[in-house]
Amino acid sequence: MTSTGTPPTFEHSFADLPERFYQALTPTPVAAPTPIRVNRALAEYLGLDADWLASEAGTAWLAGNTITPGSRPLAAAYAGHQFGSFNPQLGDGRAILLGELQGTDGRRMDLQLKGAGRTSWSRGGDGRSPLGPVLREYIVSEAMAALGVPSTRALAAVSTGEPVYRERSLPGAVLARVAASHIRIGSFEFFAARKDREALEILVRYTLERHYPELADAANPGLALLESAIRAQASLVSRWQLLGFIHGVMNTDNMLLSGETIDYGPCAFMDAFNPDTVFSSIDHGGRYAYRNQPGIAHWNLACLAQALVPVLHEDSEQAVALAQGAVDTYGDQFLEAHTAGLKAKLGLKLVEDRPEDAALIEDLYSLMASEATDFTLTFRRLADLASPDTAGDQDCGELYPLPQSFDPWLARWRDRLAAEPVDSQERQEGMYRANPVFIPRNHLVEAAIAAATDEGDFAPFHALVDRLADPWTWSSEDRSFALPPGPEQQVYQTFCGT
Ligand code: AMP
Ligand code: MG
């Protein structure tokens, strides 16, 4: 624990990289920082004193108004493909890395303030963040972590006491974000675009040591890193698909080499199943629709491979062949991860593949699409039905009965389950762990943001964060958190809020 009254001491492995990797600068102070929420469990994990973080001194520190003496805050350089077009110069335009802290498990974690003021990468932006996107990121990133999906985390949110001007004047806020690192595909693209092979080599070594230390001595470090990133993304995006999570802005600057989900701008979970669902207000072509996410990750990994070509082999043809070979493994890796996850959701986890399984799964998805059933609650309902006698407290049937048109499919599924030598209660418990009942419903996220922004009422925000800390355990008192939106509650668009 940090002793009360002193800000934590950071490590600075990223700041030790060459100067062209970042701009050294401090956050721009804000007028009147006030606390919104401190994540006590995460503070404890990082060895921070949550009471101090919530104090006046801690709040000023979380807003960037005071800086740990001797620390070396910075804004990192990166490039990126945004909606398919390359931008060689993005970088942290409104986020400042304070430094690194060690988790209780010894992992090195970045602590970054998002909305901390202008940097040399801000272009026309004000370096600030409105309250809404800060709350959205807090709610959804913490929900993702509770759902077991690798994600950046929210350590705290504070209000700045300053307005931010977008389409209208909005209250400003700062999010203290924790991540295994903030190294993006775009970080490599930045140096590749400048033909800075030395920097690429340094970044490869740094990233390997930080995220894949068991490969630090690999004969071909660039290839080892590329393969690891491909494996991590295939697994990550399969998790998104299995939960109905739509990221919304899968640009290459928003994909981390660590395999954590980052950038909760226009993200949302799907309610009624429709594979074409898009939420982002700026995604006119549906590039980042639910159904496109696995393919976009593939495309982004090809950008990473392209950026790494100069360090894969001295002979450029061989380098390209190595890059291509690695990227070509993505499809099978995604499919394997996704199929394993689907089987867990359907209670088929413990047995061998059968030829009819693919059709069983496809037919369920067709049925969900044609009936527009709720993605989350359809799967949750299957868990109840897997062992109706023992479903007990977990049974949410009265909450969400499946339409009768599901009956023939349910009969096929039950036959399939019956062919397995698995204890039905054990299977059901597994299904309850694979099929959450509480997800961050977009209409509730929007309502929490509206209450805080328009009325200064943070109660719905806190209630949502508290409820989503346990997504698996049904409680009938909390039905309003589990239900899909009614017709008048539907939210069709989300905004980046930049
Ligand atoms: P994002 O859409 O959050 O991934 O941001 C894309 C790029 O725009 C990044 O380089 C951000 O740092 C930058 N950016 C977003 N919002 C702002 C802002 N309000 N002020 C300055 N830069 C911003
Ligand atoms: Mg971003």
The full set of domain ranges for the chain reads 19-179, 185-338
Q: Among 193, 180, 107, which residue's Cα sits nearest to residue 141?
A: 180
- Is pLDDT at 493 greater than 90 in this prediction? no
- Give distance in angstroms: CA of 250 to centre of ligand 1: 14
**Pairwise CA distance, residues 333 & 348, whole Å:** 19
Q: Which residues pair with 255 in a beta bridge?
A: 261
**Residue 253 appears among annotated catalytic residues:** yes
CA distances for 22 relative to 187, 204, 298, 310, angstroms? 10, 16, 28, 22
**H-helix or E-strand containing 112?**
strand 108-114
Question: By alpha-carbon position, which residue is closest to atom 11 of ligand 1?
Answer: 93
Distance CA 239, CA 49 (A): 32
Query: What pLDDT does residue 1 have?
Result: 44
Structure tokens at 290: 């639910």
pLDDT above 50: residue 74: yes
pLDDT at 2 over 50: no
Measure the CA–CA gap between 155 and 260, rounded to whole angstroms: 16
What's the mean pLDDT in 395-413? 94
Do 460 and 440 meet the contact criterion of CB atoms below 8 Å apart? no
The answer for 106, left when phi > 0, alpha when psi is -120 to 50, beta otherwise, is left
Q: What number does the ligand 1 atom closest to the CA of 251 have?
A: 4
Residue 137 has pLDDT above 70, yes or no: yes
The ligand 1 atom at the shortest distance from the C-alpha of residue 127 is: 20
Residue 3: per-residue pLDDT: 44
Summary mean pLDDT of the chain: 95
**What DSSP string runs through 299-368?**
HHHHHHHHHHHHHH-SSHHHHHHHHHHHHTTHHHHHHHHHHHHHHHHHT-TTS---TTHHHHHHHHHHHH
Confidence of residue 497 (pLDDT cuts 50, 70, 90): low
DSSP class of 88: S
Predicted local confidence at residue 434, as pLDDT:
97
**CA–centroid distance, residue 250 to ligand 2 (Å):** 9
Tell me, what's the pLDDT at 7? Answer: 80
- Name the token pair of 310: 């100069």
Instruction: Kindly report the pTM of this predicted structure.
Output: 0.97
Q: Counting ligands in written order, which one lies closest to the CA of residue 152?
A: 2
Among 80-94, 156-170, 343-357, the minimum mean pLDDT is found in: 343-357
Strand, coil or helix: 73: coil
Q: Which protein residue has the closest C-alpha to ligand 1 atom 10?
A: 90
Asked whether residue 257 carries a pLDDT value surpassing 80, the answer given is yes
The residue from 253, 263, 374, 384 that is catalytic is: 253
User: Separation of 177 CA from ligand 2 center, angstroms?
Assistant: 13
- pLDDT band at residue 389 under the 50/70/90 scheme: confident
CA distance 345 to 465: 24
The arithmetic mean of pLDDT across residues 137-146, rounded, is 98
Cα 129 to ligand 1 centroid, rounded to whole Å = 9
Is the pLDDT assigned to residue 219 strictly greater than 60? yes
| CA 52 distance to own-chain centroid | 28
3-state secondary structure 182-197: CCEHHHHHHHHHCCCH
pLDDT category of residue 356 using cuts at 50, 70 and 90: confident
* Cα(225)–Cα(228) distance, integer angstroms: 5
d(CA 467, CA 482): 10
pLDDT at residue number 4: 56
Q: Is residue 366 pLDDT above 90, yes or no?
A: yes
The confidence score (pLDDT) of residue 8 equals: 85
Picking from 45-49, 231-235, 279-283, 344-348, which range would have the lowest pLDDT averaged per residue? Answer: 279-283
Tens digit of each residue's pLDDT (9 = 90 or more) over 324-348: 999 999 999 999 999 999 999 999 8
pLDDT band at 479 (very low <50, low <70, confident <90, very high): very high
Q: Which residues line ligand 1 (CB under 6 A)?
A: 90-94, 121-122, 125-128, 249, 253-254, 263, 265, 496, 498
pLDDT at 421: 83
